[in-house]
């Protein structure tokens, strides 16, 4: 989308600093931040970088759970070892979530 209209707004020093801080907190540059506010978006702080690590770890654990589930579905039952492994993986998920909370 081409943006052809330009709006100039004068801000006080404190207003400008506040604008910069708010745009930084959300992870937006100032222009997209202002456009989002105009559109009525409810902006939230961007998650910390450590959440990327959490998502990666939870994804790996989820893949392991899916593999065990596929094996259980094909066999028609779950072995004691598989059930224990699923339980351990779920405890690991909760531990990871609590570390980041």
Q: What is the pLDDT of residues 4-24, one digit of tens each?
A: 999 899 999 999 999 999 999
Residue 95 lies in a domain: yes
Q: Angle CA(17)–CA(23)–CA(25) in degrees, nearest 5? A: 100
Residue 77 lies in a domain: yes
Q: Are residues 38 and 63 in the same domain?
A: no
Q: Are residues 54 and 96 in the same domain?
A: yes
pLDDT of 23-73, one tens digit each? Answer: 998 889 999 999 999 999 888 877 777 777 888 888 888 888 888 888 888
Q: Are residues 65 and 81 in the same domain?
A: yes
Neighbour-count burial of 40, counting CB atoms closer than 10 A to its CB (0-12 exposed, 13-18 middle, 19+ buried) = exposed
Q: Are residues 38 and 54 in the same domain?
A: no
- Domains in the chain, number: 2
Domain that holds residue 89: 50-100
Residue 1 lies in a domain: no
Q: Are residues 59 and 77 in the same domain?
A: yes
pLDDT of residue 4: 92
Q: Are residues 41 and 56 in the same domain?
A: no
pLDDT of residue 100: 67
Q: Are residues 71 and 33 in the same domain?
A: no
Quick one: tokens of 3?
């943006």
Taking the complete model, does pTM exceed 0.85, yes or no?
A: no
What is the rounded CA–CA span in Å between residue 39 and residue 30?
A: 14
Q: Are residues 17 and 55 in the same domain?
A: no
């Amino acid at each position: 989308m081409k943006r052809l209209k330009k709006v100039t707004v004068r801000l006080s020093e404190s207003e400008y600093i506040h604008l910069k801080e708010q745009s930084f907190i959300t992870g937006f540059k100032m222009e997209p931040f202002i456009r989002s506010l105009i559109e009525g978006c409810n902006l939230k702080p961007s998650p910390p970088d450590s959440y990327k690590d959490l998502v990666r770890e939870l994804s790996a654990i989820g893949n392991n759970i899916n593999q065990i589930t596929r094996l259980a579905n094909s066999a028609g039952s779950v072995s004691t070892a598989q059930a224990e492994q699923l339980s351990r993986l779920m405890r690991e998920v909760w531990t990871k979530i609590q570390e980041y909370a």
